[in-house]
Amino acid sequence: MDMTETLNQQPIITRTERGLTIAGTRITIYDVMDYVAAKYPPQFIQGLLHLTETQINEALKYIQVNRVEVESEYQLVLKEAEELKNFYAEQNRELIAKISKMPPPSGREAVWQKLRQKKAEIGAKANIPA
């Protein structure tokens, strides 16, 4: 399977140690897939990721043509990201608990109180404990 190429035969989508990547960037096809999965329009994705029109069009074309392969790899990337998130949450649980029990810095008590109130409001709306 050939990678998507421009008129001058330079590949736009290349496989690197990071996976399928848009040439000349650190942006992977999986980054684009996050927005495709969320149903963002192509021009919005282009702007968010600072891609050229050619780059976004070729990335979307590559995803469409190689949908099964890309989707399979994307699911692996999502699984790995979730595992890393859980690993670091566990590694830092005690530190986060310790930090959350610390008193506010001197002179900032009122601001911290406002933040706690806002956090409680948001948590109540989302049914999340404060």
CB 96 within 8 A of CB 69: no
The whole-angstrom separation of Cα 54 and Cα 56 is 6
Residue 15 corresponds to which amino acid? R
Whole-number pLDDT of residue 1 = 44
Q: What is the pLDDT of residue 8?
A: 59
Tokens of residue 4, six digits: 């998507």
pLDDT confidence of residue 129:
58
What pLDDT is stored for residue 103 in this prediction? 85
Tell me the pLDDT tens digit for each residue of 37-60: 999 999 999 999 999 999 999 999
Low-confidence residues of the chain: pLDDT under 50: 1, 6-7
| CA pair distance 44, 29, nearest whole angstrom | 15
Closest CA to 1 of 62, 81, 44: 62
| 11 contact partners, CB below 8 Å, separation of at least 6 | 3, 4, 5, 23
pTM: 0.67
pLDDT of residue 76: 94
